[in-house]
Structure 1
Amino acid sequence: MLLEWWSDTDCTLYTDPENYTKYGKENAIVVLNHNFEIDFLCGWNFCERFGVLGSSKVLAKKELSYVPVIGWMWYFLEIVFCKRKWEEDRENVIQGLHNLCDYPEHFWFLIHCEGTRFTEKKHEISMLVAEAKGLPKLKHHLLPRTKGFAVTVQSLRNVVSAVYDSTLNFRNNENPTLVGVLNGKKYHADLCVRRIPLEEIPEDEKECASWLHKLYQEKDAFQEEYYKTGIYPGTAIVPARRPWSLINWIIWASLLSYPLFKVLANMISSGSYLTISVFALLMVIVSVGVRRMIKVTEIDRGSAYGNRENKLKQK
C-alpha cells in the first residue's frame, strides 16, 4: 500500500516467463539481498503482487518485535524472530518453521541471508572473514550466514517447492529511503528473480552452505552486470497492481476516521486542559513510535551486528 499506491513506486521483475506463472501458486523460500533501506518494502510488494502478502513470513531480528504496531502485528502473525545468536536461536527458529508445515495457504518465507544490511564498514569486515575462510570475495554483498538458511531448507524441505533467488537494485543509482517513501517520492526498482527447485539444494548442511556461497557469487555477478548495463538477465515483466490493498485501506480509513475526528472535535470543544494535554501526549507517543520505526530502517543507524567493534565489546 505505502510503496505502490502512496509513492507510486513500481518494481520490474526480470525472470523466466515460464517460472513467472508459478509465482503465488506454491510455497517458496525467498532469498533477498539486504542493501537498501526499503528492501523489506519491496519484498512485501513482491508478495502482494502475487497474492501472498497476508501469508508471507520472514526471519527477522528480535528487535523488530518491539517496534510499535508493526512489531506487535508481526508477533501475532507468527513471524519467526531471532536474536542472531545461533546457540540461542536454533530451537526457536526450528519451532517457528515447523509451525508452517501445515499452513493452510500458499506462503513465502523471506530471508536475508547476509544477516544485516550492507554498509562499507561491514563489507570490509565480511571480506576479511571470506579471505580467512578461503572463500571468493563479494563486491556487492556481505558473506551469507549459512546456518539459518540450511535449517530453513531442512525444516521446509517437504513443504516448499522452490527457492526464489531475488536480487534487488534501483535505477539511476537511486538511494531510496523510508522517509522518501513517506513523502511520496517515486522510486524505480528492478528485481531479478530466479526459481530454483528445492530438490537442487543439497540436504547436507555443509554442502548446503557451499551451495549458498555459490548462489551469492552469482548474485554478485548479477549486481555487477546491472551496474554496467542497467538491466538484469531475464524477461522484464511488471506485475499488475492488485487494487485490494487500496480498497481495504480506504474502507478501514473511512470507518476509523469519522469516530476519531469526532473524538478529537469533542476534546477540543470541551475546553478541558487535562483532556487536551492527554491528547497531545498521545500524539507525542505516536510520533516517537513512528520515528523509532524509521530509525530501524536507516542504514546509518543500523545495528552493530557484523562490526568488528561489536564483537570486541562482546568478548
Structure 2
Amino acid sequence: MVSWKGIYFLLALFLGSFFGSIFMLGPFLPLMFVSPTWYRWIVDRIVATWLTLPVALLEMVFGAKVVITGDGFIPGERSVIIMNHRTRMDWMFLWNCLLRYSYLRLEKICLKSSLKSVPGFGWAMQVAAFIFIQRKWEDDKNHFEKMLDYFCDIREPLQLLIFPEGTDLTANTKARSHEFAEKNGLRKYEYVLHPRTTGFTFVVERLREGNNLDAIHDITVAYPQNIPQTEKHILNGNFPKEIHFHVRRYPVHAVPTSREELQVWCQKRWEEKEERLRQFYEDCQLVFRCTITILVLQSLCLVTLQSPAVLQVLS
C-alpha cells in the first residue's frame, strides 16, 4: 500500500531535482564550453548540496540509523568504490555514508542508461557527469573511455562507484549467478552475486594511466531488518531502519597491476563479502558500534555552507 511517507520522500526528491536542474544547474551549461574545470567545480558543489536532502530525510525524518565500520575514507582522496548491490537503491543510501566524510561532491556513479531519461533526476545526473551504461561491454567501453579521460584531463578528483555484480540481488539474479558458478566450477553465493570484472579492471587501469587514482574502497552494505528492494518499496514507506557499511581501503600501490591478477583480486573481495554477510545475517557477528562521532546534522550544515560560497564566487 502506498504510504504518505513514501510519497513525501519521492515527491521532495523529484521537485528538488526538477527545479534544481532548470534553475540552478541549467544556467551553468554554457560554462562547460568556456571553462570545463570551473564548470565542474561549480556544478559538483551544487549537486553535493542537493544530495544532503535525501540523507536528511532518511535519517532525521524517517529515523534510519547508519553504522559505519572499517577503514573509512580520506577526504579528497581519488578512488574507485566497489560495493555489493543488495537493492536497487544502494547507490542512494551510500550518500549517508559519504556525507560523513564531506565526500559527496567527488562521487560519480555508474548507472543503467535508462535512468538518464527520467525528468528531473536524470537531468541532474547527466549534469553531475554520472556514467550511464548499457551493461553490454561492447557498447560501454568507448563511453567509459571518454568519461574517464575527461576527468583525467581536467584534473578533477574522482570517486567512482561501480557495482561489479551488474544488477541487484534477487531470486532471479541469484539463480543466474548459480548457473554461472556451475558452468565455471565456482562456489555458489547466497548473499552476493559473482562479480563481472571486465569493467572494473578497465576503470582501474584507465585511472592509473591518467594518474587519477589513490585507492580502491571495498564497501559491503547490509540491511539487518527491512530491505527496500525497489523504488516501489520506498513508495510504500518501507524505509530501512538500519544501514550498515563496512569499508576496506586498499592503497593503489597494494593492488595488482596486471589485468588477470586484478580480476582475481576483485573475485577475492567478493568471497570475503559472502563470508562477511553470512556472519552478519546468520551469526550477527559482522558489525560493531561505529567509532565515528560526526553527527549527520553537523555534516549537513558543513556541506550546506558551500551554497553561499558558490554564489559568492559567481557574483
- TM-score normalised by the chain length of structure 1: 0.70
Distance 1:60 1:205, change over 3 A: same
Match of 1:166 in 2: 219
Shift of 1:104: 5.3
Equivalence for 1:5: 60
8 Å Cα contact 2:164-2:199 kept in structure 1: yes
CA distance in 2, matches of 1:220, 1:71: 32
State how far apart, in whole Å, the 1-side matches of 2:138 and 2:109 are.
20
Is 1:143 the counterpart of 2:197 in the alignment? no
Which of 282, 293, 296 pairs up with 1:228? 282
Structure-2 separation of matches of 1:137 and 1:186: 27
Alignment check: 8 A CA contact 1:144 1:213 kept: yes
Q: Which of these residues, 207, 221, 226, is aligned with residue 261 of structure 2?
A: 207
Q: How does 1:1-315 map to 2 (within 5 A)?
A: 1-2=53-54, 3-16=58-71, 20=72, 22-102=73-153, 106-157=157-208, 158-171=211-224, 173-176=225-228, 178=231, 183=237, 185=239, 187-232=241-286, 236-238=290-292, 239-241=294-296, 242-244=299-301
Alpha-carbon distance between aligned partners in 1 of 2:275 and 2:189, rounded to the nearest angstrom: 9
Deviations along 1:170-215, one digit per CA (max 9) or x if unpaired, are 22x3223656656495611111111111222222222211111111
Following superposition, the deviation at residue 230 of structure 1 comes to: 2.6
CA contact (8 A) 2:227 2:240 kept: no
Query: How far apart, CA to CA, are the structure 1 residues paired with 2:218 and 2:62?
Result: 26
State the Cα deviation string for residues 239-271 of structure 1 (Å, max 9, x = none): 4211238957x99xxxxxxxxxxxxxxxxxxxx
Report the CA distance between 1:94 and its aligned residue. Answer: 1.4
Contact 2:67 2:289 in 1 (8 A): no
Gaps of 5+ in 1: 252-315
TM-fit CA distance, 1:46: 1.9
Structure 1 residues 72, 167: CA separation in 2 closer, same or farther (over 3 Å shift)? same
Equivalent in the alignment of 2:49: none
Quote the residue 2:34 is aligned against. none
Instruction: For 1:156, give the aligned amino acid.
Output: L
Please, which moves more after superposition, 33-42 or 144-153? 33-42
Structure 2 unmatched runs, 5+ = 1-52, 309-315
* Contact 1:15-1:234 within 8 A present in 2 as well: no
- Which entry has the higher C-alpha Rg, 1 or 2? 1
- Number of aligned positions between the proteins: 246
Identity %: 27
